[in-house]
Amino acid sequence: MAERAAAGHTWSVGRNRRTKDREVSQYMRRQGLVRPREGRVIGGVCAGLGRRFGLGPWQARILFVLIMMLLPGSQVLIYPVLWILMPSEEPTGPMVGAATG
């Protein structure tokens, strides 16, 4: 019986984590922080930050690198965290190759 309760607790923790992840993703989307589908080089983080703050993708990349040079080693942590937290941009038009009927 205790094993079953522990398994239920694990499921509940997993569900709560997914709910929190979804909330963070929705918050980022409302703030305009999304990774665009076009203009990505690695994960689209810099392109998304540039779009949010009115910069071109390459301007944002250069600025990101310059700022990260001030904080050595931080880019190893910051970029992947933003990649995980920033949702990918939703498709706006019909998908290529989608069946039309």
Q: Is the pTM of this model over 0.75?
A: no
- SS3 of 42, please? coil
pLDDT of residue 33: 79
More confident residue, 53 or 7: 53
What digits encode the pLDDT tens for the residues 10-64? 555 556 777 877 787 787 778 777 888 777 788 888 888 888 889 988 998 899 8
pLDDT of residue 12: 56
| pLDDT of 4 over the 60 cut | no
Q: Measured between alpha carbons, how far apart are the two ends of the chain, in Å?
A: 53
Burial code of 29-62, b = ≥16 C-beta within 10 A, e = fewer? eeeebbbeeebbeebbbbbbbbbeeebebeebbe
Rounded average pLDDT over 73-85: 81
More confident residue, 74 or 86: 86
